[in-house]
Amino acid sequence: MSYEKVLQASKIVIGTKQTVKVLKDGIVKELVVASDAEPKITAVVVKQALESSVPIIYVDSMKKLGRACGIEVGASSVAIIF
């Protein structure tokens, strides 16, 4: 289900650095985080999302999340933005 949300979203931001930036800008509707990503990589994004009261959805695979975003590599986090 969560992969479908990413596929259907009109605007997304992929990757940790970019996601943290848009979280700080306050334009994120939902955050999608891959459970198999390194916790030290996703911790910053999750912390920022919690501080910003943004809902977090966990999915099982970086590879599937990357595919849902239309990229060839895995994605640790994806922000669905307004």
Convert the pLDDT of each residue in 26-57 to its tens digit: 999 999 999 999 999 999 999 999 999 999 99
Judge whether 32 and 78 are in contact, CB under 8 Å.
yes
pTM (two decimals): 0.94
The C-alpha angle 4, 50, 23, rounded to 5 degrees, equals 70
Mean pLDDT rounded to a whole number for the chain? 96
Burial of 63 by CB count in 10 Å (0-12 exposed, 13-18 middle, 19+ buried)?
middle
Alpha-carbon distance of 81 to 72, in angstroms, equals: 21
**Which of these CATH numbers, 3.40.605.10, 3.30.1330.30, 3.40.50.150, 3.40.50.2000, describes 2-81?**
3.30.1330.30
Closest to 9 measured CA to CA, from 38, 33, 32: 32
Judge whether 68 and 6 are in contact, CB under 8 Å.
yes
